[in-house]
Amino acid sequence: MVGIRLRWFEYSIVCILVLNRVLQLTAAVSAELFFKPFNVSYDHRALIIDGKRRMLISAGIHYPRATPQMWPDIIDKAKEGGADVVQSYTFWDLHEPVKGQYNFEGRNDIVKFVKLVGSRGLYFHLRIGPYVCAEWNFGKAIFSQVIRFHLLSFKMLCTECMMLSDPNYDYCFHCWFRLGNIPYFTSFQEEMQRYVKKMVDLMKQEMLFSWQGGPIILLQVENEYGNFESQYGQKGKDYVKWAARMALGLGAGVPWVMCRQTDAPENIIDTCNGFYCDGFRPNSYKKPAFWTEDWNGWYTTWGETIPHRPVEDNAFAVARFFQRGGSFHNYYMYFGGTNFGRTSGGPFIITSYDYDAPIDEYGLLSQPKWGHLKDLHAAIKLCEPALVAVDTSPKYLKLGPKQEAHIYSKVVRTEHLNSRQSGNEIICAAFLANIDDHNDATVTFRGRVYTLPAWSVSILPDCKNVAFNTANVGPFLLGLACFLLHIYELPLKFKVLLVSL
């Protein structure tokens, strides 16, 4: 009898230990599940997340240009500033300093960085490249034993021909290896495919894609190859097609983009990089308009003044992009950071990569840029229901010689909660633009008079009241607060509190 009790006791202990282990594993999996698994696709208008079109604001943050201790605070500030997405390149030379030997520790811990983004409820756009430029030494390309000698041999010539716009671009690294100067082309393709597959497999292993409950909703292969492709004729075109096939064949389960690639193949979204992208249209009506790099500043070179882009101009460019049909916008950079070690690329670029970003090199808010853009993002989000509802181009209305309006309006069916009643509702958002860069203008829109400062956009989330104007940089949230006062007749004490902000 005693023996039976002992065996039963031992059996119970084993069951408890097994159950405890199962609970631990379940908790571990749950802790890494940042979202309920969802699919990502797209149509001609926008990215479709879990069955719904979205207007997305993205913050460019390069994880190796900050310390891991800085990451949480930077990500939190990006979210507070209105970002939905964080975007980063991957860094081939950091992750694989020697062929087959990988480094994902410290500043190279991309998995930790992506998980931090997901833990904040933000999405992630992973730009694998692997060549990505980014003013990084050799564009972050591999320093593997296979091509190390050739990289070092052509380093000086590459820099020289970039500076002088030498027509012999065949010898410049960023195109020379990608393009296919036999016999090294095949080797580069093999190395590139191996690295891209490594990164995709790593993200799958860590359950970081959207369909796994992770934050990654978008990927990128290559980077601005279209800037040089025409110099290589059919070889260049073949390389683009190969890169697209290779990427799509990895089964990542989320859309891929190619930036500045007007001949991006079907099923790859071609995107815009630049200071202004409101006139950009993708190469197919089936693809949405994405702006993967909004240059809200610029890098600094030795002996030159620090570039500065006024926030009024930056806000104007963003508002115009959404006004004219854009749906995904990324700041390059939202946080620029520091070129640690000898990572600065290009001629005479300094250690700082501050980029006149909304968050400065040290992780501090750069005002008024951060605050003004935060207000802009809030106004765009108020317009999102109307922006995603309209399938066609917005209605265009001429308001003056250099003044115009774009109106997103649609009748939608509404269902009232806890009621069987339903009805129709008109949702409407309008953007009034003054593209005269010298003179203010007064315009009439739908029977109301509006003053538009020079080179500015006023955003009207209800087609009546101005929530934000890109040129009016003042007490943050004041314009948005005034709009809310119109919509929600708040008690006097709350009105005073809001306006006092």
Catalytic residue numbers, as ranges:
224, 293
With b for 16 or more beta-carbon neighbours within 10 A and e for fewer, the 36-47 pattern comes to eeeebebeebbb
Residue 478's nearest CA partner among 396, 393, 346, 372 is 372
Tokens 């492709």 belong to residue: 229
**Which contiguous run of DSSP H or E holds residue 381?**
helix 369-389
8 Å CB contact between 59 and 330: yes
Residue 180 backbone zone (phi > 0: left; psi -120 to 50: alpha; other: beta): left
Alpha-carbon distance values, 438 to 58, 298, 434, 454, 455 (Å): 30, 24, 10, 6, 7
Which tokens hold the place of 276? Answer: 């202004």
Helix (H) or strand (E) holding 441: strand 441-445
**What gap in Å lies between CA 301 and CA 474, rounded to an integer?**
32
**Residue 255, preceding peptide bond in cis (omega within 30° of 0):** no
Q: What is the CA radius of gyration of the chain?
A: 26
Q: Could you tell me the sign of the dihedral formed by the alpha carbons of 395, 400, 401, 402, in that order?
A: negative
Tokens of 51: 């069955």
The 3-state secondary structure of 262-311, one letter per residue:
CCCCCCEEEEEEECCCCCCCCCCCCCCCEEEEEECCCCCECCCCCCCCCH
Task: Determine if residue 356 is left, alpha or beta; phi over 0 gives left, psi from -120 to 50 gives alpha, anything else beta.
Answer: left
Please identify which residue in the block is written with the tokens 């209800």.
Answer: 462
CA angle 280, 443, 488 (to 5 degrees): 90
Half-sphere exposure in the Cβ direction for 459 (13 Å, CA):
33
Tell me the three-class secondary structure of 38-51, residue by residue: CCEEECCCCEEECC
List of E strands, 71-167:
85-89, 123-129
Q: State whether the Cα torsion 338-256-111-60 is positive or negative.
A: positive
**Distance from chain centroid for Cα 298:** 17
Task: Compute φ and ψ for 494, nearest 5 degrees.
Answer: -75, -35
**Contact between residue 95 and residue 102 where contact means Cβ atoms under 8 Å apart:** yes
